[in-house]
Structure 1
Amino acid sequence: MALEIITKSDLEEFRLRLLEDIRSIVGNHKPETGKLLKSYQVKNLLKISPGTLQNLRMNGTLPFSKIGGIIYYKYDDIAKILDAKSK
């Protein structure tokens, strides 16, 4: 049985390739148009606090629907806010 020695530089190269692959997979994953999102998903997308999300609902910036005690948001509405935030 032959032994193969793995160096630190080999591990570092592997780590970089793995991170690049993960970023490409995660970066390409976006919710479909028309999809409904829950509050925790919106907070993660916009990187905002629960209070800020509530303010966006209350002042009418972010339309929502409440079904059985759960608040849903349209992805299209979130995309508009993301576009405005990036400008």
Structure 2
Amino acid sequence: MKENITREDLFRLAAEIIREVKKIQQPAVPNTNLNEEWLKSKTVRKMLDISAGTLQNIRITGKIRYRKVLGSYYYKKSDILKLFKE
């Protein structure tokens, strides 16, 4: 059976695509606290002078909290500073 695509179907599809694109375009850094500074993995590795593998181990063991956004990991600066103190 052949279905006809109506103009309304196309408008609904366009609206859904626009919603999905807007989701993608949202800020890359999590929005939990606007005053909190989030750092990318590369910055954290430089701060701690560690390799990517070491940072991964720290992340896996739960020593620092993180957020993964679009394939990149972000860490709270306050958590990194707290790790320095320990």
Which TM class, normalised by the smaller chain length? 0.5 to 0.7
Q: How does 1:45-64 map to 2 (within 5 A)?
A: 45-64=47-66
Q: Percent identity, please.
A: 42
Number of matched pairs? 52
Task: Give distance in 1, aligned partners of 2:36 and 2:49.
Answer: 21
CA root-mean-square deviation: 1.1
TM-score by length of 2: 0.57
Q: Could you tell me which residue of structure 1 aligns to residue 36 of structure 2?
A: 34
Structure 1 residues not aligned, in runs of 5+ = 1-32
Q: Could you tell me which residue of structure 2 aligns to residue 43 of structure 1?
A: 45
Partner of 1:48: helix, strand, or coil? coil
Partner of 2:75: helix, strand, or coil? strand
Structure 2 residues not aligned, in runs of 5+ = 1-34
TM-score by length of 1: 0.57
| Structure in which a larger fraction of residues adopt helix | 1
Task: Give distance in 1, aligned partners of 2:68 and 2:83.
Answer: 20
The 4+ residue runs of structure 1 with deviation greater than 6 A are none
Q: Could you tell me which residue of structure 2 aligns to residue 70 of structure 1?
A: 72
The one-letter code of the counterpart of 1:34 is E
The one-letter code of the counterpart of 1:70 is S
